Amino acid sequence: MFVRNSHLVSINRTEKLTVQATLPNLKRFLDRDIQRNVADRVLYMGAIAYKFISKNESALYSIEPRVTYRGVENYKNILDAGANLQFFGDKLLMSAMHHSTNSVPLVPELPIKIS
C-alpha cells in the first residue's frame, strides 16, 4: 500500500488475480467538515478481477471478468461488471463493462508494438 498524489492505492496482482482500491483525494475524504455542493465525484473505488487463460489453441486466449464498486458523492453508488477478452495471444483485445447507471461501453483494442 502506498500514498501518491493524495491517493491511497492498494494493488495485489498475481498472474491471474487483481485486487484494487483507491481513495482519489485522501485529504478531502478525511476532512468531512467542509460543506461541498458537488456531484459525480468518486469518493472511493474497489475492484477485483480474475484472468482465465485458455490451455488450447483457440482464438480466445483469455477472459478476465471484473467487478468494480464506486462510491460517488451526492449520487447513488455505481456497480460495474464486465470482462476483458484477449484474442490470438495479445493481437486483439476487447473490453465490455455494464454500469449500474445502464451504460455499456464496448472497447476494441489493437496493440501496436513498435521496435
Instruction: Classify residue 9: in a domain, yes or no.
Output: yes
Instruction: Classify residue 87: in a domain, yes or no.
Output: yes
Instruction: Classify residue 101: in a domain, yes or no.
Output: yes
Reported pTM: 0.72
Please say if the pLDDT value at position 83 is more than 80: yes
Q: Is the Cβ–Cβ distance between 101 and 72 less than 8 Å?
A: no
pLDDT digits (tens, 9 = 90+) for 31-44: 655 556 665 677 88
Boundaries of domain holding 17: 2-31+41-109
Instruction: Classify residue 115: in a domain, yes or no.
Output: no
- Span 75-102, average pLDDT: 89
pLDDT at 100: 87
Structure-block grid coordinates of residue 53 = 487463460
Number of domains in the chain: 1
Instruction: Classify residue 46: in a domain, yes or no.
Output: yes
Cell 495471444 identifies what position? 89
Amino acid type, 39: A
**CA-based nearest residue to 92, from 70, 48, 61:** 61
Q: Is the Cβ–Cβ distance between 29 and 23 less than 8 Å?
A: yes
- Span 39-52, average pLDDT: 84
Instruction: Classify residue 36: in a domain, yes or no.
Output: no
